[in-house]
Amino acid sequence: MAPGSGRRSIHGLPLFRAALAALRARITDAMEGVVSSRVLWSLLFLLALVPLMAAPRIGPALPALPPGSVVPEDIVAPATLEYVDDAATGEVRAAATAAVLPVFDLDTRALGDAIGMIHRSFQEWRRVREAALRRSGVPASRAELMTALKEISGLAVPPEGMAYLVRAGFDSAVEERLCTALREVFQHRVVGSKAFLPRGDRVRVRDTRVGSEWVESPLKDLLSLDESRRLAQRALAAAGAGSDERASLGPLLADLVMPNFSYDAALTDSRRHEASDRIEPLMVRIPKGKLLLRRGDVVSEDEARALAAFNEARQAGVSGRVILGNLLLMSLLLFFMARYALFYQQSMRRDRHLFALLVVVTVVGLLLDRGFLWLYEHLVDSFQVEPYSNPSFYRFMVPMAVGAMLITLLVNPRVGMAYTLFYVPLFGMMMEWDLPLLLFCLVGNLAGIYGVTTYRQRTALIKAGLLLGGVNAVAVVALESVAGLALPPSHLAFQALCGFAGGILVAILASFLLPLLESLFDLLTDVRLLELSNLNNPLLRRLAVEAPGSYNHSVIVGTLAEAAAEAIGANALFCRVAAYYHDVGKMLKPDYFIENQREGANRHDGLSPHMSALVIASHVKEGYELAKSYGLPKQVLDIIPQHHGTRKINYFYQKAKKVENPEVEQVSESDFRYPGPKPQTREAAIFMLSDSIEAAARTLEDPSPARFKGLIRKIVSDVVLDDQFDECDLTFADLEKASAAFLRTLGSIYHHRVDYPGFEFDRVPERPFRGSRTHEDLPPPAARWRR
- The answer to whether the peptide bond before residue 662 is cis (omega within 30 degrees of 0) is no
Report d(CA 534, CA 541) in Å as an integer.
Answer: 10
Query: What are the residues facing 263 on neighbouring strands?
Result: 104
State residue 503's pLDDT score: 93
What does the pLDDT look like over 260-290, one tens digit per residue?
888 888 898 998 999 888 888 888 777 766 7
pTM over 0.75: no
Residue ranges covered by each domain of the chain:
33-56+319-523, 75-85+282-316, 106-196+222-261, 528-749
With 80 as the cut, is the pLDDT of residue 756 above it? Answer: no
Report d(CA 529, CA 759) in Å as an integer.
Answer: 44
Asked whether the beta carbons of 355 and 41 are under 8 A apart, the reply is yes
Residue 192 binned pLDDT confidence (cut-offs 50, 70, 90):
confident
With 90 as the cut, is the pLDDT of residue 578 above it? Answer: yes
- The answer to whether the peptide bond before residue 677 is cis (omega within 30 degrees of 0) is yes
The alpha carbon of residue 450 and the mean position of all alpha carbons in its chain are separated, in whole angstroms, by 26
Strands of the sheet containing 203-207, edge to edge, are 213-216, 203-207, 103-106, 261-263
Report d(CA 149, CA 369) in Å as an integer.
Answer: 88
Report d(CA 419, CA 400) in Å as an integer.
Answer: 12
What does the pLDDT look like over 701-713, one tens digit per residue?
878 888 899 999 9
Residue 760 has phi, psi (to 5 degrees) of -110, 115
Over range 623-644, report the average pLDDT: 91
Average predicted confidence (pLDDT) for the chain? 80
Over range 4-24, report the average pLDDT: 50
State residue 625's pLDDT score: 92
Report d(CA 501, CA 499) in Å as an integer.
Answer: 5
- Kindly tell me the burial class for residue 787, based on how many C-beta atoms sit within 10 Å of its own C-beta (0-12, 13-18, 19 or more): exposed
Domain 528-749 coded CATH 1.10.3210: yes
Show the 3-state SS of 526-564.
Answer: HHHHHHHCCCCCHHHHHHHHHCHHHHHHHHHHHHHHHHH
514: which residues sit within 8 A by CB, 6+ positions away? 406, 409, 410, 461, 525
Out of 389-393, 458-462, 635-639, 658-662, the most confident range is: 635-639
Query: What are the residues facing 286 on neighbouring strands?
Result: 81
With 70 as the cut, is the pLDDT of residue 149 above it? Answer: no
Query: What are the residues facing 191 on neighbouring strands?
Result: 224
Out of 393-397, 524-528, 609-613, 703-707, least confident range: 524-528
Residue 78 binned pLDDT confidence (cut-offs 50, 70, 90):
low
State residue 125's pLDDT score: 72
Asked whether the beta carbons of 644 and 606 are under 8 A apart, the reply is no
Out of 135-144, 304-313, 428-437, 674-683, least confident range: 135-144
State residue 288's pLDDT score: 67
With 80 as the cut, is the pLDDT of residue 384 above it? Answer: no
Q: If DSSP codes are grouped into helix, strand and coil, which group holds residue 194?
A: coil
- Stated as kind and residue range, the H or E segment containing 7 is helix 5-36
State residue 555's pLDDT score: 92
Report d(CA 420, CA 425) in Å as an integer.
Answer: 9
The CA–CA distances, whole Å, from 525 to 349, 505, 529, 574, 577 equal 17, 21, 6, 9, 12
Asked whether the beta carbons of 471 and 444 are under 8 A apart, the reply is yes
Residue 539 binned pLDDT confidence (cut-offs 50, 70, 90):
very high
How are beta strands 222-224 and 189-191 bridged, if at all? Answer: parallel
Query: What are the residues facing 75 on neighbouring strands?
Result: 293
Higher per-residue confidence, 739 vs 247: 739
Asked whether the beta carbons of 289 and 77 are under 8 A apart, the reply is yes
Higher per-residue confidence, 591 vs 199: 591
What does the pLDDT look like over 225-242, one tens digit per residue?
888 888 888 888 888 888
State residue 253's pLDDT score: 82
State residue 667's pLDDT score: 78
Query: How does DSSP classify residue 100?
Result: S
What does the pLDDT look like over 593-623, one tens digit per residue?
888 777 767 778 778 888 888 888 888 999 9
Report d(CA 598, CA 260) in Å as an integer.
Answer: 127
With 50 as the cut, is the pLDDT of residue 6 above it? Answer: no
What does the pLDDT look like over 86-107, one tens digit per residue?
778 888 898 988 888 888 888 8
Give the dihedral sign, CA 637/642/644/647. positive
- Stated as kind and residue range, the H or E segment containing 409 is helix 402-410
- Stated as kind and residue range, the H or E segment containing 144 is helix 142-152
Asked whether the beta carbons of 454 and 413 are under 8 A apart, the reply is no
DSSP of 73-92: S-EE-SS-EEEE-HHHHHHH
Report d(CA 705, CA 365) in Å as an integer.
Answer: 54
Asked whether the beta carbons of 575 and 564 are under 8 A apart, the reply is yes
With 60 as the cut, is the pLDDT of residue 34 above it? Answer: no
Rg (CA), the chain: 51
Percent of all residues in the chain with a pLDDT value above 90, rounded to a whole number: 21
Asked whether the beta carbons of 424 and 434 are under 8 A apart, the reply is no
Residue 53 binned pLDDT confidence (cut-offs 50, 70, 90):
low
State residue 759's pLDDT score: 55
With 80 as the cut, is the pLDDT of residue 591 above it? Answer: yes
Higher per-residue confidence, 424 vs 224: 424
Query: How does DSSP classify residue 525?
Result: -
Over range 736-762, report the average pLDDT: 76
Q: In degrees, to the nearest 5, what angle opens at C-alpha 124 toward C-alphas 120 and 128? A: 175
- Stated as kind and residue range, the H or E segment containing 293 is strand 291-293
State residue 16's pLDDT score: 57
Q: Which of 196, 221, 206 is nearest to 101 (CA)?
A: 206
Report d(CA 712, CA 695) in Å as an integer.
Answer: 11
563: which residues sit within 8 A by CB, 6+ positions away? 572, 741, 742, 744, 745
With 80 as the cut, is the pLDDT of residue 116 above it? Answer: yes
Out of 8-22, 28-42, 56-70, the most confident range is: 56-70
Show the 3-state SS of 597-644.
Answer: CCCCCCHHHHCCHHHHHHHHHHHHHHHHHHHHHCCCCHHHHHHHHHCC
Report d(CA 67, CA 297) in Å as an integer.
Answer: 11
With 90 as the cut, is the pLDDT of residue 499 above it? Answer: yes
State residue 642's pLDDT score: 93
Report d(CA 406, CA 420) in Å as an integer.
Answer: 11
Residue 9 binned pLDDT confidence (cut-offs 50, 70, 90):
very low
Core vs surface per residue 187-214: b (16+ CB within 10 A) or e: ebbbbeeeeebeeeeebbbbeeeeeeee
Higher per-residue confidence, 541 vs 211: 541
Over range 656-669, report the average pLDDT: 76
Higher per-residue confidence, 329 vs 315: 329
State residue 30's pLDDT score: 53
Out of 126-140, 636-650, 675-689, least confident range: 126-140
With 50 as the cut, is the pLDDT of residue 774 above it? Answer: no
Asked whether the beta carbons of 68 and 353 are under 8 A apart, the reply is no
How are beta strands 203-207 and 103-106 bridged, if at all? Answer: parallel
The alpha carbon of residue 74 and the mean position of all alpha carbons in its chain are separated, in whole angstroms, by 39
334: which residues sit within 8 A by CB, 6+ positions away? 42, 45, 46
Helix axes 682-697, 705-721, angle to 10 degrees: 130
